[in-house]
A = this chain, B = another copy of it.
Amino acid sequence: MNRQELIDQIFTKKTFLCVGLDTDIKKIPEHLLREDDPIFAFNKAIIDATAPYCVAYKPNLAFYESMGVKGWISFEATIKYLNENYPQHFIIADAKRGDIGNTSAMYARTFFEEMNIDALTVAPYMGEDSVTPFLQYEGKWVILLALTSNKGSHDFQLTTDAEGERLFEKVLRKSQEWGNADNMMYVVGATQGKMFEDIRKVAPDHFLLVPGIGAQGGSLEEVCRYGMTKDCGLIVNSSRAIIYADKTERFADVAAEEAKKVALQMAQLLP
């Protein structure tokens, strides 16, 4: 999906919500455990229920890998289901990959060519040749970690160099030599509040993928106040607060209600 198609989706549906499919076998409703593939059954129900209220889905690979081969089967089934039934939704594999060039190229082939995923989160520590293999695909995106939502984001990302530039700013600046606002986004945690202003100084046009509202405590209003652009420029993710809002047989309906609440807030906040 290219940038204009994403923007069109956002303004047509009046939402920039991404539903995080962090599906944990220990947290899904018990009755699903009778299914052949409980993880996929859960995802399918959540997707069908929340699709009108979001523009993107983001499975975090860790949750699937933790189940080994079975988890990969559920992951692939979920991606296939999304591709076949919701081609207008942007699919993000939250994988936080990044390796030497030939290995990154391998990851790119897997996620972009074979699975037809739209975007992949990538860790920047290994630099240019770990990122550029992901930028060779028309309509596909790298989402580079910049300023994350967790406490540990302070350990290295805020380190200031001799010229007064912080590491996350250097990541934003330097990576714009490799890609642009049509094939690159950045992860910026919702918990970073006013720091979005600093992000926008270096990356005024790029879309930002924003985790951390809901369970992690970030504020949607604050993110929009400091981070929104005329094109919206934000994809805001919520995982646990939506997908685990209810654990009975009504779980998908309740997830839809929660997603709808966030979407209504978002409609108010769009330019």
Q: Which residues of B sit under 8 angstroms from A101, Cβ to Cβ?
A: 150, 152
Partner-binding segment picked from A32-40, A154-162, A222-230 = A154-162
Residue from B24, B106, B152 in contact with A62 in the complex, judged by beta carbons closer than 8 Å: B106
Check A99–B99 contact: CB distance below 8 A: no
Which residue of the partner chain B has the closest CB to A63? Answer: B106
- The segment from A44-52, A122-130, A263-271 that touches chain B is A122-130
Q: Which of A178-216 contact B (CB under 8 A)?
A: 216
Closest to A131 in B: B152
CB-nearest residue of chain B relative to A129? Answer: B152
Q: What is the distance, in angstroms, from A175's C-beta to the closest C-beta of chain B? A: 9
Known: A99-B62, A123-B96, A124-B125. Is A171-B151 also a contact (CB below 8 A)?
no
Q: A97-B96, A152-B129, A161-B161 are in contact. Are A66 and B106 (CB under 8 A)?
A: yes
Contact A72 B68 (CB under 8 A): yes
Kindly list chain B residues whose C-beta atoms are within 8 Å of the C-beta of A73: 69
Contact B156 A125 (CB under 8 A): yes
The 8 closest A-B pairs by CB, nearest first: A127-B152, A127-B155, A128-B152, A129-B152, A100-B150, A66-B110, A62-B103, A123-B123
Q: What are 7 A-B contacts defined by CB distance under 8 Å? A: A24-B106, A101-B152, A124-B155, A125-B148, A129-B152, A131-B152, A160-B162
